[in-house]
Structure 1
Amino acid sequence: MLWIAVSLAVCSAIGLACGTHFQSLAVVSRSDGKLSLKQFGRVLRSPRWTLGLVLLGIGTVGNVLALSMAPVTVVQPIGVLGLVITTILHARHVKIRITATTWRAIALCIGGATFFVLTAVRYTDPAISITDHASDVVTYLLAGLVVFVCLGMLLVKDRHRGLFYLFAAGSLYGFVAVEVKVITVQMQTGGGAWWQNIEYGNVAGLLLAAVLGGWLVQSAYASGPPELVMAGLTVVDPMIGVFVGLSVLGEAGPDFGPLAGTILAVCGAVSITGVRLLSKYHPEVLAKLAAARTPGTGQFGIVPGPQRAAPRDPSED
């Protein structure tokens, strides 16, 4: 059974990576670095985007099945293979060389995210019951996050918009996972039929977070390389889920203390550092900075011009 779960997890990582790759190609080919609703309408008619959606669905189903057969400590680390696969696929497609700095940034993302998940599994206990107050707090927090994200989409400057999309999408998907957990527990507890136990505010929050997060992911595809999108989601999504689980749902285990909190904070900082390095020194980003010598704004929120020199790649030292 364990080897079946491992095989499913590997297939899931491949499906998610390939789905991300194809959807990114579709979005980039039909946008100019900033996705609009009209452009997204054209994206939806793209066979590549549809193929990517199917592959993402297959990958998600494979991951759910793997988790049903094996512990999170086995399945979750395998999932980060998707970041490596996405990097290789994109590099081959656009014919760029993956630099040592890019690999180091990816290693920081993968290492930090993996140890974060393993530490969270070690020091937390899944919530077997969730109070009405806790489910309401989750809804209120998500509502606040949605307002913050909507304001950010209006106010954040172009050169910071790419990273904003990543972290906002990761935060929303983290709440999607939390809402799924809350709704699942509600269905399994209480009297009467399962649908009578569900708080529909949580259902509405789940749908809203999924839709808005999906839009931000598509916008991020238009703004930067797909491996950066996957890195951001891999890092932020579990952090938000664990934080809300510990602080709101009461999932802190009996052994959770300052040491566990410190480990989680360090792992989170390492992962975020990896995402930041990837956003600055990815070869595609560097190439766009170096080539941006005409008026206008390039992809990934880059403001070109002769006064803006490309960041130095430490791997060339």
Structure 2
Amino acid sequence: MNQWLAVVLAVASALCLAVGTQQQGTAVADRVPGRLSPRALPALLRSPRWLLGLGLLGAGTALNVTALGLATVTVVQPIGVVALVVTTLLHARHRRLRINRRTWAAIGMCTAGGAVFVTCAVSATDPARTISRWAEHTVVLALVVLVCVLGTAALLFRGSLGGTFYVVGAGILYGFVAVLVRLTLTRIQGSTGGPLDDVNWAAVGVGAAAAVLGGWFVQSAFAGGPPDVVIAGLTVLDPMVGVLLGMLVLGEAADGFSVVTGVLMAVAGAVAIVGVAVLSQHHPEVLARRAAPAGPRPPAPGAPAADPAAPDRAALHRPGSHA
């Protein structure tokens, strides 16, 4: 019963994340010309749309954490694919875009792959499995290395990194964060003394650092592409990382896990990845940017007029550029 309640909470979380992502994505794209830099933060903090998105993302995160307290990472994280459909519809309406057939096909592939993945995950995992300290330390150490590598790359090569790097980096980081949230909640629920006696504070600290870095990556990705393409990558990569860690490191695989189930999950994941690739190439806004002549991007409905002295966004997003 707890697992299905977790599914309901995860769906509610996905809806909050979808609306929040669309609001923040359009705010970043409208106010930040070119690549995101720390100097752009004051402008974003003055944007009601960006702040609304931040609040919704916070609510979605809280719901997701609650869901992770009731079910395994393998069950909860793949449900985020629901956010893709909602974000795509909201963004198309905001930008007055017509969703083409290939975009619908890509969304269908992501959604179908995610649905099959969730169905298999519910029956293939055992939330009652005890997680060893060795497994927890392994995840923490791996995340420390990952944060150092990705953070260093973002600092050294920020002038040449494209949106794909930021989406992939954020998806991997969030997958680890979800696992650490699950581990921390498990320690709190299973504590025999005070509720915080068994908490691994190193895991909390590393998870917080990874969440902050992942958040910056997401905002950077918003500056380089449509929010629905960004969230498509996140909702596919995040659960896959969580599932691999859950089954291979944390030992969440149930006794009844079979080769057939594993193959179905792998195929479903592959279908979802292909869907993301198709979406990133055939999204109507991506196609419009490719076809647009060099020059400033037209402002979105209700957005402030573009600064003539601002960098050329269209040139930045043409093939061969950083995106």
Superposition TM-score, scaled by structure 1 size:
0.83
CA deviation after TM superposition for structure 1 residue 70, in Å? 9.6
AA at the equivalent of 1:144: V
Which residue of the partner structure matches residue 311 of structure 1?
none
Query: Any stretches of 5+ residues in structure 1 without a counterpart?
Result: 309-317
Question: Kindly tell me: are residues 251 and 8 of structure 1, through their superposed partners in 2, closer, same or farther at Cα, counting changes over 3 Å?
Answer: closer
Question: Kindly tell me: are residues 77 and 170 of structure 1, through their superposed partners in 2, closer, same or farther at Cα, counting changes over 3 Å?
Answer: closer
CA contact (8 A) 2:17 2:60 kept: yes
AA at the equivalent of 2:214: G
- Measure, in 1, the Cα distance between the counterparts of 2:315 and 2:134: 40
Which residue of the partner structure matches residue 287 of structure 1?
288
Q: Which has the higher helix share?
A: 1
TM alignment of 1:155-170, pairs within 5 A: 155=157, 158=160, 161-170=162-171
* Alignment root-mean-square deviation, CA: 3.3
CA contact (8 A) 1:128 1:185 kept: no
Which residue of the partner structure matches residue 15 of structure 2?
14
Which residue of the partner structure matches residue 317 of structure 2?
302
Question: Kindly tell me: are residues 22 and 150 of structure 1, through their superposed partners in 2, closer, same or farther at Cα, counting changes over 3 Å?
Answer: same
Aligned-pair identity (%)? 50
Which residue of the partner structure matches residue 210 of structure 1?
211
AA at the equivalent of 2:115: T
Which residue of the partner structure matches residue 37 of structure 2?
36
TM alignment of 1:236-255, pairs within 5 A: 236-255=237-256
- Measure, in 2, the Cα distance between the counterparts of 1:202 and 1:239: 20
Which residue of the partner structure matches residue 176 of structure 1?
177
Question: Kindly tell me: are residues 187 and 38 of structure 1, through their superposed partners in 2, closer, same or farther at Cα, counting changes over 3 Å?
Answer: same
TM alignment of 1:99-114, pairs within 5 A: 99-114=100-115
CA contact (8 A) 1:72 1:121 kept: no
Superposition TM-score, scaled by structure 2 size:
0.82
- Give the total of aligned pairs: 305
CA deviations 1:64-113 (Å, max 9, x no partner) are 66788999999878754322221111112112211000111111111112
Which residue of the partner structure matches residue 225 of structure 2?
224
CA deviations 1:225-249 (Å, max 9, x no partner) are 0111111111111111110011111
Which residue of the partner structure matches residue 55 of structure 1?
56
CA contact (8 A) 2:21 2:53 kept: yes
Question: Kindly tell me: are residues 206 and 301 of structure 1, through their superposed partners in 2, closer, same or farther at Cα, counting changes over 3 Å?
Answer: farther
Question: Kindly tell me: are residues 73 and 242 of structure 1, through their superposed partners in 2, closer, same or farther at Cα, counting changes over 3 Å?
Answer: closer
Query: Any stretches of 5+ residues in structure 2 without a counterpart?
Result: 297-310
AA at the equivalent of 2:208: L
- Measure, in 1, the Cα distance between the counterparts of 2:228 and 2:315: 13
Which residue of the partner structure matches residue 268 of structure 1?
269
CA contact (8 A) 2:103 2:282 kept: yes
